[in-house]
């Protein structure tokens, strides 16, 4: 609501001039303009006054706007007002974050599924712990373990965690994956399970030379460099 008459405008300007808490001014203005309008209409109907007469009498009865403003300023203390707004803001942020977590966990419980990553238990010849952690920007990569199969396949299980956002990793390419015999292997890390703040990844390698004793995984991208050495167990020949 906006003051249209000069008498109303002058009254509201003087009143609000004494109120230091700016966020409260609009509410105060609307409240007093509504009160003035109600009083004017009442006088027009009950006392048969013209609108000009009713408005003049109403403004006289309202009192000193500066004194009213000072009293309202005491009620709407700036320090307490800003603390209240800050508290409301924090409650809204906390509530939104709690709702996000609730929806995320509920979605995981209702729709959680794990992609088949191809590990065949009867072919596993070794599980080798890696226990290596790499930090890349806001994401922490934890290289958990390697699963070696008798058919020349290897699966390296990785956890990607980020507490500032849900990791969205489409792939993770090493600069080079090779063995001690000089053979190079194609690698692509893909996500197979998503959780709140976390994705589980698997790096799959195939056709590893049965004579190889060590796999070397080298990463050197985006000013990040590290190396993982993976000892290979003895495997039986494919025709055995």
Residues 94 and 125 placed together within one structural domain of the fold: no
Strand partners, 154: 148, 205
Q: In the prediction, which pLDDT does 101 show?
A: 64
**Lowest-pLDDT range of 56-70, 99-113, 210-224:** 99-113
- Asked whether residue 1 is assigned to any structural domain, the reply reads no
Domain encompassing residue 65: 6-109
- Distance CA(53)–CA(43), nearest Å, equals 9
Model confidence at 166, pLDDT cuts 50, 70, 90, reads: low
Report in angstroms the alpha-carbon separations of 20 from 33, 75, 147.
Answer: 19, 11, 68
Residues 214 and 127 placed together within one structural domain of the fold: yes
In the predicted model, what is the mean pLDDT of the chain? Answer: 81
Q: In the prediction, which pLDDT does 4 show?
A: 72
Is 40:55 a contact under the CB 8 Å cutoff? Answer: yes
Q: What would the pLDDT profile of 96-148 be if each residue is shown by its tens digit?
A: 877 766 665 555 544 444 456 778 888 899 999 998 888 877 788 889 999 99
Please report where in the chains the tokens 């000069």 appear, as a residue.
Answer: 6
Q: In the prediction, which pLDDT does 208 show?
A: 92
- Distance CA(29)–CA(18), nearest Å, equals 12
Whether residue 214 is predicted with pLDDT greater than 90 in this model: the reply is yes
CATH of the domain at 224: 2.60.40.1640
């Amino acid at each position: 609501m906006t003051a249209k008459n000069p008498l109303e405008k002058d009254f509201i300007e003087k009143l609000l001039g004494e109120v230091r808490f700016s966020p409260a001014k609009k509410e105060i203005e609307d409240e007093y303009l509504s009160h003035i309008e109600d009083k004017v209409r009442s006088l027009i109907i009950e006392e048969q006054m013209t609108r000009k007469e009713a408005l003049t009498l109403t403004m006289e009865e309202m009192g000193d706007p500066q004194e009213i403003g000072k009293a309202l300023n005491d009620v709407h203390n700036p320090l307490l007002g800003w603390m209240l707004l800050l508290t409301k803001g924090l409650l809204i942020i906390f509530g939104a974050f709690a709702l996000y977590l609730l929806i995320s966990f509920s979605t995981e419980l209702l729709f959680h599924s794990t992609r088949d990553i191809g590990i065949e238990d009867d072919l596993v010849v070794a599980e080798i712990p890696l226990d290596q952690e790499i930090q890349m920007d806001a994401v922490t990569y934890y290289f958990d373990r390697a699963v070696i199969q008798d058919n020349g396949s290897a699966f390296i299980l990785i956890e990607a965690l980020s507490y500032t956002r849900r990791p969205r990793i489409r792939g993770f390419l090493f600069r080079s994956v090779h063995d001690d015999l000089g053979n190079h292997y194609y690698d692509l890390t893909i996500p197979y399970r998503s959780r709140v703040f976390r994705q589980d990844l698997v790096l799959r390698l195939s056709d590893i030379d049965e004579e190889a004793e060590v796999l070397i995984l080298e990463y050197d991208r985006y000013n990040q460099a590290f190396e993982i050495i993976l000892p290979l167990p003895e495997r039986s020949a494919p025709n055995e």
